[in-house]
Amino acid sequence: MHVQERQNMRPAIANVVIALNYLTSQQYDPSTNLVQASRRSSHSEQMKFKRGDQIEVVDMGPGLLGSFYDGYIISRVGKKTYIVVFRTLLEADHSGLLREFVKAGKIRPKHADVVVSGFDLVKKVDVFANDGWWTGRIISKIGETEYLVHFDNTNQDIYPFTNIHVHQD
């Protein structure tokens, strides 16, 4: 059965337009031998995601070092790029969830949530703040439900237990 015959298998037209715009914006280099390049790629570059996979995008640029953002795959564009929808980031005009082209090297599968009853001092953790997850270390416990967390790039702040997860890298 062809994709044409199965409506639920067809990509949304908006995603087709986004993909075509991306492809036409790329510079064509006829000297590139794609067959040889694909044979040399590493295992991590060969990881393939499919539509709907829950993922995390890491290293989104300057000022965001040590952070990652939850999202899911909309579609693959070429061999090393995906269209991703972020779960917590909005378009600049607030019209909906942010969609972006993301290189495969910045995408990893979503970590499983690990249930814990507390965190030890100097334990490396991920804290949900400013629409993303940031890696820091527990400095101290404040009361029964809050922790003081230190971040290398922004010093420290207090967060509730519910915003802190076990770091899994």
pLDDT < 50 regions, the chain: 1-3, 31-45
Give yes or no on whether 3-109 and 124-166 have one common fold.
yes
Q: How far is CA 21 from the centre of its chain?
A: 22
Question: Which of 115-145 are b and which e, b meaning 16 or more Cβ less than 10 Å from the residue's Cβ?
Answer: eeeebeeebebbbbbeebbbbbbbeeeeeee
Q: What pLDDT score was predicted for residue 19?
A: 60
The span from the CA of 4 to the CA of 90, in Å, is 32
C-alpha 18: how far from chain center? 19
Domain locations in the chain as residue ranges: 3-109, 124-166
Predicted pLDDT of residue 15: 62
Query: For residue 154, what are the contacts with CB-CB under 8 A and spacing of at least 6?
Result: 134
The pLDDT value given to residue 36? 38
Pick the CATH number of 3-109 from 3.20.20.10, 2.30.30.30, 3.40.50.12280, 2.40.50.140: 2.30.30.30
User: 124-166, what's its fold?
Assistant: SH3 type barrels. (2.30.30)
Global pTM reads: 0.66
In this prediction, residue 99 carries a pLDDT of 95
